[in-house]
Structure 1
Amino acid sequence: MTGRFIGGSAVRPMAGVQSSAQPDESTLAHLVGQIYDAAIGQEEWAVVLRRLSAMFGGTAAVLHRFRSPARAGASRAINTDPINIQLYDTHYHKTEPKLAVLSQLPATGVFIDRMLVPEARLTRTEYYNDFLVPQDLHSSLNWFGQRHGIPEAGLSLWRPRHWADWGEEQAAVLSYLSPHVRRAMRLEQRLATADVPTVAVSLAPRKPLTARERDCLRWIARGASSKEAARRLELSAYTVNEYVASAMRKLQAASRSEAVAMALAQGLIDG
C-alpha cells in the first residue's frame, strides 16, 4: 500500500470500515471523557480500547507504555490471549520494525504501518510471522508519542489480512483523539510515580483555583455527582456546576474528567 501521512486533526465521517460506527461530536466527547477517567483510575483502559476498536472497525487494540518502570506488564490489549501481551513486552517489542524508524513520523504521530515499513519487508520479519500471523493480524493504524526521540507511549488498532486496509478517515479521527491519549497517559504516570514532579509548567492554570473550585473538583474526583457535591458543600447544584466550569476554563480542560486529572497531577486537590 502506498500511503501518505495525515497531518490534520479534522474529524470527517468514516467510510469503508468493517464497523458501522460513525463517530459524531457527542460520541467523541464521551470517549475523550473516558480516556481521562482511565488516567485517574475511574475507568478501565480495557473499556476505552473496546470502544476504540468498535469505533474504528478493528479486531484488536493495544495500548503501549514504553516508559513504564517495568517493561513487563506495560502494555494493555483487548481481543488477544494474555500470553501475547507477555510475549510482546518481554521480546517482540524489541523486534517490531516500525519502532526502529519512528523518526519518520509526522507531527501528529499517527500513521498506518505500511507508511513506515513496506509490506514486502514487514511480512519477512520474525515479528510478523511468529507474532502477528498466529493472531490473524496484518495491518495497523497507530499513534506513537515520543520524547527526545524515544517512544514513550503508543496506541495500535489492528485488522486481519482479509479486511479492508485503513484509510484517511480513520487516521484523521485518531489524529483528533491522540493528544488526549498522550496527555492522559502522562497524567497517569505522574499520579502513579511518587518521585515524579506533579506540577508541569505546560499544565499550570492561567489563574489559581479558588478554594470552592478545588472543593468541587475534589468531590467530582471522588465520583460524586453535582447534586451530591452540592449537598456535601451546602451549595446548589447550579453553583457547583459553575465552579467546575470555571475550574475547567482556568485549567484549559475539555471535560470534567480532564480537569480532575490535571488538578490531581498538579497537586491542587487530593484524591
Structure 2
Amino acid sequence: MTELAREAASGLDAGSGGGQAMLDRLVALLDLEKIEENIFRGVSPAHSPVRVFGGQVAGQALVAAGRTVPEERRVHSLHAYFIRGGDPSVPIVYEVDRIRDGRSFTTRRVVAIQHGKAIFSLSASFQKDEPGIEHAEEMPDVPRPDSLPTLMERAEGYFGRIGHHDRPRPIDLRYVNDPPWVTRDSGDRPARNQVWMRADGVLPDQQLLHVCVLTYASDMTLLDSVLARHGVYWDLDKVLGASLDHALWFHRPFRADEWFLYDSASPTASGARGLATGRFFAEDGTLIATVVQEGLLRIV
C-alpha cells in the first residue's frame, strides 16, 4: 500500500477533521496505486459503512480509466453498474480494458474486483476538444449557497436519529429547501431535491480529478428525491437501499472546488426500484453535467 493510500485509509472517517484536511484525504483515496499495466489498486476509509460507498468506487474506477488516456482527451460520459456490495476492509483491484483508441474518441472499460469477483463495472468515453453547436437549459432560480446553513447546522437536533449527517465530509453540502428528513413529517413531499455542493477546500489543477470528485459527490442525495415523494428517509424509517446503476454526462469543464447546484428529481418508482435524474449547474448558471441513477429501495 502506498503512503497516500495508507493516509486515505486511516483518515477519511468519522474521526477526521473537516475542510481541507478531509478533502486532501479524498484526493489521496483517489490516487490509485499502479500494480501492473492496466491494473490499479485502491483502498477504502478505515471507518466505513458495511458496504463501500458507491461514489468512491465510481470515482476510483474513473481514475483508473483516465490513467490510460492522454490528458488532452476529456471524459464526456460514463455508464456503470453496481454488481455486488464492496467490502471496505480489503483493497479493490481495478482492471482496465482499452476498448478503442480512435482519432476523436477513446473508450475504456473498467471492472472492480474483490475476493475474485466483480463488484462494479464502468464504461467511460473520452473525447478531444472540438467546436460545435451549443445550447443548455437554464439553472433554476434558487438562493445562493453562502446564504444557506451547512448540512450540520440543518441536521442539528436530529443527531442520533440520522447520525450519519454529523460526520465530517470532504464535500460541503447545503440544502436549498427543507431537507427530506424535515419534509418527511409534513404534507409537502415533492419528488425533487436541490442542494449546493463543492469540495470543502482547494483541489489541484487536474481536470480529471475534478471530474472524479464530482462523480464521488453525484452518489450523495440523489435517491433522496425518490424517498421524499413517499415521506420516508434513511435511518428514520426501515429503508433498505443500494445503487444499481449510474450514468453521468459531462458537458463542459468545471472546478469541483467551486459551488455547483445539484438539482435532482424522481420521475418514477416501481418494482422496489426508484429512478432519479439530476442536473449540475455551476454557480454562474452553466449546465456542467447530467446524471441518471436507478436504485434498489425496499421499505420493510
Question: If the length of structure 2 is used for normalisation, what is the TM-score?
Answer: 0.24
Question: If each structure's helix is expressed as a fraction of its own residues, which one has the higher value?
Answer: 1
The higher radius of gyration belongs to 1
Question: If the length of structure 1 is used for normalisation, what is the TM-score?
Answer: 0.26
